[in-house]
Amino acid sequence: MEAFPITQNKAMELGLYTLGDLLPPIRDGEEISEQERIGQIIEMARLAEEAGLDVFGVGESHQKHFVASSTPTILATIAGVTKNIKLTSSVTVLSTADPVRVCEDFSTLDLLSGGRAEIVAGRGSRYGAYELFGYDLNDYEELFDEKLELLQQLNQQQPVTWEGNFRPALQEAALYPKPLGGSLPIWYAVGQHHASAMKAGRLGMPIQLAGLYGASSVFEKRVQGYRRSAVEAGHDPEKLPVSMASMLYVGDDTSTAMKEYYPYLNHTSKVNWGTSFPKDRFAEASSIKNAMMVGSTQQIIEKILYQYELFGHQRFLVQIDHGNIPYRKVMDMIELFASEIAPVVRKATAKQ
């Protein structure tokens, strides 16, 4: 079994993730190039480490309005300007990738970074990659299950002999180079489907749960189902970390933050999904019981700790650079998250 990325007796790990979106300017916003946007991502990771955060993740998309199609390349560049921060995909769209290549890429990243590489394996919430790489969306579940099985085998023990439906068979295959510790931490990405959480539990894999908006109690049920399935399959849930991922916007007070943030969230929704973000649903984000991390620093702290009471999770990641939020504001929020929110959360979640 691959090494797990977090021990249970530490305070909650905190970090950032980005999807590398490059949306059209909002109102009179500044338009930047793809090169500049990738440069921002590199700088965000450097600032995150400088500020003392634990993890930086880069997502993967293969369509218009995104620049992060080659996650390992971006993470490898980040490895060259950082020393300690963990580097993870968030997520690797495994369904449309070759697990052999994924292992090679992230093993190389692990060596370049001194053992800091992780994989979050998922199906992808956007479907452009399926057509681009020649896969049938009707095979959505089967593709992921088969490729995850192969990825785990390659990560646990080599050489591997394997046969499936969507990739040529392997006969005594060994991959090079090897990751620094012999294997890589692999997380199972869980989105909106309860069944995914239960499947991850049966497999005995740590999960990264996308808790973007809505009542936190909904995600509590997924975590409970995950841990229950793990126990039923003979796994110890105390050895299976849970990571939560959400969106973050910090303002001087909650009312101001709500007012400032909605245009960016709505812009993201319109460009990516062709519809406005419902204002009534957004209004619910003012409650500490809502998963969307928008508010004052104190409100964000209360939201994170409320979720911690529900989930007892070990990692929390936030996306703060979406919707064309001005980069200056992004940098300010990294500082606020690291200097005002993180210390309180770590103290409250530290275990003796």
In sequence order, which residues have a C-beta less than 8 Å from that of residue 167 and are 6 or more positions away? 98, 99, 146, 147, 150
Residue 1 has pLDDT above 50, yes or no: no
Question: Tokens 């960016």 label which residue?
Answer: 264
CA quadruple 269, 270, 273, 278: dihedral, nearest 10: 60
Asked if the structure places residue 312 within a domain, the reply is: yes
Burial 325-342 (b: 16+ CB within 10 A, else e): bebebbbebbebbbeebb
Whether residue 147 lies inside any domain: the answer is: yes
pLDDT tens sequence across 244-300: 999 999 999 999 999 999 999 999 999 888 899 999 999 999 999 999 999 999 999
Query: What is the number of structural domains in the chain?
Result: 1
Asked if the structure places residue 195 within a domain, the reply is yes
**Which DSSP category does 176 fall into?**
S
Position 117 in a domain: yes
Phi-psi region of 44 (alpha: psi -120 to 50; beta: other; left: phi over 0): alpha
The percentage of the chain sitting over the pLDDT mark of 90, rounded to a whole number, equals 84
Those residues with Cβ within 8 angstroms of residue 20's Cβ, 6 or more apart along the chain or in another chain = 37, 38, 41, 58, 59, 61, 66, 67, 68, 74
Question: What domain range includes position 253?
Answer: 13-349
Torsion angles phi and psi, residue 212, rounded to 5: -80, -40
Under the banding of pLDDT at 50, 70 and 90, the label for residue 75 is very high
Mean pLDDT (whole number) for 137-166: 94
310, 290 Cβ separation under 8 angstroms: no
Do the domain assignments include residue 1? no
Largest CA distance in the chain: 60
pTM here is 0.95
Which 3 state secondary structure label does DSSP give 315? strand
The CATH number covering residue 170 comes to 3.20.20.30
* Cβ proximity of 233 and 292 under 8 Å: no
